[in-house]
Amino acid sequence: MPYFKDAAELQQILGMLYDRVKIDPQIAPRICEGKIVIQFRYEDPQGLVTINAAHPPTQPGAYCDVHWGQTDLKPDVEMSMKADIAHQFWHGKINLMAALTRRQIIAKGPIPKILKLLPAVEPVYTLYPKLLSDMGRRDLALQ
């Protein structure tokens, strides 16, 4: 059974995660050091999110911008995966290199740029389950 019941729930949950990350003073500045535009393409359910860490943010208090849906931004890296893989990744249960090798995650663009971001996103592995619990989604927080 998929973790997310539909695209709206996927966007609600991961949207809240990305909204927290983009204002987090411990995480977001380190992501922005990469000066990269990353696009995540999710399926089952579908979702499209682009994180613009290459340009100054438009939202006060944010370190980067997050766009859901189509955008004119040209991503440096595109990451395609099932939404369940994203859920497991943000729990820290998916090794990126192994997922790339197994083709659970398909990456287009300079992979070294993404690999450099891994230390920056490690705190999200703790943040994500806490966020799920705070949202009343202990069912997802424990998976």
Domains of the chain (ranges, CATH numbers): 7-136 (3.30.1050.10)
> pTM score, two decimals?
0.93
Nearest to 46 by CA among 102, 94, 8, 1: 8
Low-confidence ranges of the chain (pLDDT < 70): none
Residue 69 Ramachandran class (φ > 0 left, ψ -120 to 50 alpha, else beta): left
Residue 2 confidence (pLDDT): 87
Residue 141 confidence (pLDDT): 85
